[in-house]
Amino acid sequence: MTAVNFVLRHGELKDLAAKVEAGARLTEADALRLFETRDLNGLGLLASHADRRRNGARASYIVNRYLNYSNYCILSCQFCAFSRKKRDADGFELSAEQMVAKAREALAIGITELHIVGGLHPSLPFSYYTGFLRALRELDPRLQLKCFTAIEILHLAWLARKSVRDTLTELRDAGLASLTGGGAEIFRKEVRSQIATGKESAAEYLDVHRTWHQLGGRSTCTMLYGHVETLADRVDHLRHLRGLQDETHGFTGFIPLPFQPDNNRIPVSHAPTGQDLLRTIAVARLYLDNFDHVTAYWVGMGLRMAQVALNYGADDLHGTIIEEHIFHMAGAKSPQQQAERDLVKAIREAGRIPVQRDTFYQPLKVWEATDTGVTPDSGAGGDASRERTDATESATRATAPEA
Ligand code: SF4
């Protein structure tokens, strides 16, 4: 008897297991039951089953670099340890030239994506943003620019005195390839006002992504969990994301973000437990039945826990990242970057086939069992990125949305 069959026949979750097995959609009440179950292993088996049915044995990672253009922000979200005011000594803003220099260094180690976000800067003009996008695109047109959260888009629309649609169109024309999923936090208003006063509403977040999807773009989405929200709030959050995905099919993946407790004004002193990390991944995999990918974000979970999550419903480890500030300023204990070889090793040890992917989760390299091509001193990118063939690069360009 397979493990899933065991859950189907004997476990506390046997009725939900039957629904999953039959491909029936889970309700919000079902999702809440999954969050509350004491049978974490049964839940993990089901989620892993749903993941393998969709993604097979493959699990992915991306060779990317994070880049924050500025930490100045006109808002003061209670959970945020990243933002600074102009009076603060450790505030910063980068010029387009400085961003290009950082991108050039990262290209040398094989990144395929720059992930760019920042605070809501009080005075930089709209042309600053289109300017750095153009400069980065000129540096290497194949570099995929995944930039901006929904609240940044609203801020830029206000700066540009344009509609969200026109703002997104202009950013796309300057080089924006994908929106990031950051800033979703928890959608329910009562929670949002406790952790992120002044931030956009759930409807505004979803509408920015809806508009981007209608323009032919793709994006990821997130949920910041493990602070003052209830499990029902998490389910409500996932319900909104599943609803928009039904409408647009524009989300490439879901990335749950565990809360980090340091240097902020939220009265919660610890990050989510290991149990909570795994069950959140697993419930997301089972409830978000219209999403292809669920990411175990090693920055917030640690690589060891993220590796375990690859058998609890996750099929992606995110990326090499190289320079992460937002989670680390809030107390994340993970390193600033992961070498590609360590991501490959973690995926392999979890019993899965490592795949280097691009921004849109398209495969760039599949690591066969005998393939040991990442050399010990190859840095974050490693040899795999440099060894991509022209054919693979052409395929990448062909599969990226026109955005
Ligand atoms: S979370 Fe974003 S919008 Fe909120 S204060 Fe921090 S940088 Fe600003």
Q: Is 74 in the pocket of ligand 1 (CB under 6 A)?
A: no
Q: Is 238 in the pocket of ligand 1 (CB under 6 A)?
A: no
Query: What is the tens place of the pLDDT at every residue in 21-40?
Result: 999 999 999 999 999 999 99
Say how many C-beta atoms besides its own lie within 10 A of residue 161's C-beta. 9
Ligand 1 mean position to 379 CA, how many Å? 31
Q: From its phi and psi, is residue 359 left (phi > 0), alpha (psi between -120 and 50) or beta?
A: alpha
Confidence check: pLDDT of 389 > 60: no
In a domain, 152, yes or no: yes
Using the Cα atoms of residue 240, residue 241, residue 242 and residue 245 in order, give the sign of their dihedral: positive
Confidence check: pLDDT of 9 > 80: no
Confidence check: pLDDT of 336 > 90: no
Q: Is 76 in the pocket of ligand 1 (CB under 6 A)?
A: yes
Say how many C-beta atoms besides its own lie within 10 A of residue 201's C-beta. 11
State the pLDDT at residue 385.
39
Query: What is the tens place of the pLDDT at every residue in 184-196?
Result: 999 999 999 999 9
| Residue 325 banded pLDDT, cuts 50, 70, 90 | confident
In a domain, 191, yes or no: yes
Ligand 1 mean position to 237 CA, how many Å? 19
Q: Of all atoms in ligand 1, which is nearest to the CA of residue 79?
A: 1
Q: Is 182 in the pocket of ligand 1 (CB under 6 A)?
A: no
State the pLDDT at residue 370.
66
Q: Which residue has the higher pLDDT, 326 or 345?
A: 345
In a domain, 18, yes or no: no
* C-beta separation of 350 from 53 below 8 A: no
* C-beta separation of 94 from 350 below 8 A: no
State the pLDDT at residue 247.
98
In a domain, 11, yes or no: no
* C-beta separation of 178 from 144 below 8 A: yes
Ligand 1 mean position to 195 CA, how many Å? 11
State the pLDDT at residue 91.
97
Confidence check: pLDDT of 79 > 70: yes
In this structure, what token pair is assigned to residue 272? 């989510």
Q: Of all atoms in ligand 1, which is nearest to the CA of residue 73?
A: 8
Q: Is 354 in the pocket of ligand 1 (CB under 6 A)?
A: no
- What is the best residue among 151, 152, 180, 186 to mutate for testing ligand 1's pocket, by most ligand atoms within 8 Å of CB? 151
Q: Is 235 in the pocket of ligand 1 (CB under 6 A)?
A: no
* C-beta separation of 205 from 150 below 8 A: yes
Say how many C-beta atoms besides its own lie within 10 A of residue 372's C-beta. 10
If you write DSSP's letter for every residue of 317-367 in order, what string do you get? Answer: EEE--S---TTTTTT--S-S---HHHHHHHHHHTT-EEEEE-TTS-EEEE-
Say how many C-beta atoms besides its own lie within 10 A of residue 242's C-beta. 22
Ligand 1 mean position to 135 CA, how many Å? 25
Q: Is 82 in the pocket of ligand 1 (CB under 6 A)?
A: yes
Confidence check: pLDDT of 396 > 80: no
Burial of 79 (0-12, 13-18, 19+ CB in 10 A): buried
Q: Give the C-alpha distances (Å, rounded to integers) separating 26 from 153, 221, 279, 292, 326.
A: 33, 20, 16, 16, 34
Ligand 1 mean position to 107 CA, how many Å? 28
Confidence check: pLDDT of 173 > 60: yes
Using CA atoms, how far apart are residues 259 and 227, in angstroms rounded to an integer? 6
- Who's near 61: CB < 8 A, 6+ residues apart? 316, 317, 318, 319, 320, 340, 343, 344, 347, 354, 355, 356, 357
Query: What is the tens place of the pLDDT at every residue in 258-279?
Result: 999 998 999 988 999 999 999 9
Mean pLDDT of 143-156: 98
Confidence check: pLDDT of 182 > 90: yes
In a domain, 25, yes or no: no
With residue 225 as reference, give the H or E element that holds it: strand 218-225
Confidence check: pLDDT of 327 > 50: yes
- What is the best residue among 82, 148, 149 to mutate for testing ligand 1's pocket, by most ligand atoms within 8 Å of CB? 82
State the pLDDT at residue 402.
27
State the pLDDT at residue 3.
66
| Residue 312 DSSP class | T
* C-beta separation of 277 from 258 below 8 A: yes
Q: Is 77 in the pocket of ligand 1 (CB under 6 A)?
A: yes
In a domain, 292, yes or no: yes
E strand intervals along 69-207? 113-117, 144-147, 178-179
Confidence check: pLDDT of 391 > 50: no
* C-beta separation of 255 from 262 below 8 A: no
Taking alpha carbons only, the member of 394, 393, 375 closest to residue 384 is: 375
State the pLDDT at residue 10.
73
State the pLDDT at residue 1.
58
Ligand 1 mean position to 317 CA, how many Å? 24
Mean pLDDT of 103-110: 95
Nearest residue CA, atom 4 of ligand 1? 77
Using CA atoms, how far apart are residues 91 and 149, in angstroms rounded to an integer? 20
State the pLDDT at residue 324.
87
Q: Which residue has the higher pLDDT, 330 or 89?
A: 89
- What is the best residue among 77, 257, 327 to mutate for testing ligand 1's pocket, by most ligand atoms within 8 Å of CB? 77
Burial of 3 (0-12, 13-18, 19+ CB in 10 A): middle
Q: Of all atoms in ligand 1, which is nearest to the CA of residue 71?
A: 7
Ligand 1 mean position to 73 CA, how many Å? 6
Mean pLDDT of 274-300: 98
Burial of 226 (0-12, 13-18, 19+ CB in 10 A): buried
Number of domains in the chain: 1
Query: CATH number, domain at 300?
Result: 3.20.20.70
Mean pLDDT of 250-254: 98
Report the mean per-residue pLDDT for the chain. Answer: 91
| Residue 392 banded pLDDT, cuts 50, 70, 90 | very low
Mean pLDDT of 316-322: 96
Question: What is the Rg, in whole angstroms, of the alpha carbon atoms belonging to the chain?
Answer: 20
Using CA atoms, how far apart are residues 117 and 155, in angstroms rounded to an integer? 12
Nearest residue CA, atom 7 of ligand 1? 119
Confidence check: pLDDT of 368 > 90: no
Q: Is 120 in the pocket of ligand 1 (CB under 6 A)?
A: yes
* C-beta separation of 346 from 306 below 8 A: yes
Is this model's pTM higher than 0.85 or not?
A: yes
Q: Is 119 in the pocket of ligand 1 (CB under 6 A)?
A: yes
In a domain, 2, yes or no: no
Confidence check: pLDDT of 373 > 60: no
State the pLDDT at residue 227.
97
Q: From its phi and psi, is residue 313 left (phi > 0), alpha (psi between -120 and 50) or beta?
A: left
Q: Is 184 in the pocket of ligand 1 (CB under 6 A)?
A: no
Q: Residue 138's domain spans which residues?
A: 54-399
Confidence check: pLDDT of 84 > 90: yes
Using the Cα atoms of residue 260, residue 261, residue 267 and residue 273 in order, give the sign of their dihedral: positive
Ligand 1 mean position to 85 CA, how many Å? 11
Query: What is the tens place of the pLDDT at every residue in 202-233?
Result: 999 999 999 999 999 999 999 999 999 999 99
In a domain, 41, yes or no: no
Using CA atoms, how far apart are residues 132 and 187, in angstroms rounded to an integer? 31
The number of CA neighbours under 13 Å toward the Cβ of 46 is 35
Q: Is 75 in the pocket of ligand 1 (CB under 6 A)?
A: yes
Mean pLDDT of 282-293: 98
